[in-house]
Structure 1
Amino acid sequence: MSSGRIALDDVDRRILRELQADGRLSVNELASRANVSRATAYARLDRLRREGAITGYTVVIDPAAVGLGVAAIVLVNVRQRTWEESAAELGGLPGVERVLLTSGQFDFALLVRVGDIADLRDVLLGRLQTMPFVTGSQTIFVLDEHDNGLDLSLLD
C-alpha cells in the first residue's frame, strides 16, 4: 500500500478503469480503449506500477463454483494492546479471506469463506473461540454479494 496519494490525471483514470474491467488487456488494446498512443499507455502503466497505484493483477474466482458457498462476516474483539499479533493469527484461520482492523464496537471484521456450516462452526468454535486474545465475536451470514470494485469516480 502506498504511503502517499499518487497524482492521477484523466488519462491515468481511464487506464485504471479499463484495467479494472479487464486486467488482461494488451498494451495495444489498453491504448486504444484509453484513447492514447501505445507509447503513452506503456509509460503510464509503468509509472502507475512503479508508484504503487497498481499493485498486481489477479483472477476473480467465483467462491461458490469452487466449493466455498458459505460466507460470513465475523466481528471480533480482542484483549487490549494485542491487535498486531491478533491480526496475524486471525488471518491464519482457515477460510479467512480478509482481515480488517476496525473502530467502534468491534476490533476486527473478518470475511470468512467455507464449504458449509460445519466448516464455519469448526472455524468459529474450534479455532477462533479458543484463541487466548479473543474476548468475543459476532457472526453475520452473507446472503448475497455484489463486488463493484474500487469506485474510480471518487478520483475525479
Structure 2
Amino acid sequence: MNGHEHHEHRSTGLTRQAISATAHCLTGCAIGEVMGMVIGTALGWSNLATIALAVALAFFFGYSLTIWPVLRAGVGLSAAIGVALAADTLSIAVMEVVDNLFMVLVPGAMEAGLTSWLFWVALAAALAVAFVLTVPVNRALIRRGKGHAVVHQYH
C-alpha cells in the first residue's frame, strides 16, 4: 500500500467510525428529541419549554446509551459517566442545536401538532440534517483520540 492509498484507507476508516458514532448519538438524541417534542406538544407547552424538555431527554438517553455498555465492561458508575461525558457531550450538543434550530425555522412545525404530517416530516428532516452536520464533528474528535474513540477502549 503506497502512502496515498494508506491515507485514503485511514480517511475512509475514520469517516466510517464517525458515521457509526453519529448514528449512535442520533439514536439517543432521537429517542429524547421525539419524546420531548411529543410530550411538550401534547401538553401545549411553549416552544421553549418543549425544546428544553427535548434537549434534556436527548442528553439523558444519549449518555445512557454510552454508559450502559461501559458499565457492562466492568467500569464503575462514576468512570462510566465520565466516559459518556467525554464521548458524547459535543456530539449531542451539536445535534441538539441543529435539530431544534431546524424545527424552529420550519414555519409552523412546532405548532403543527402531533397529528400533522408537517410536525413529523420536519422532525425527521431536522434529525437527518443534524446527523449530516454532526458527522464531521465526530470525525474531528475521533481523529484526535477524543469523542467516541474514548468509548472504543471499553468494547
Say whether the fold is shared (TM-score over 0.5): no
Instruction: From the two aligned structures, give the one with the greater strand fraction.
Output: 1
Q: More relative contact order in 1 or in 2 (CA 8 Å, sep 6+)? A: 2
When normalised by structure 2's length, the TM-score is 0.22
Whichever of the two has the greater Rg, that structure is 1
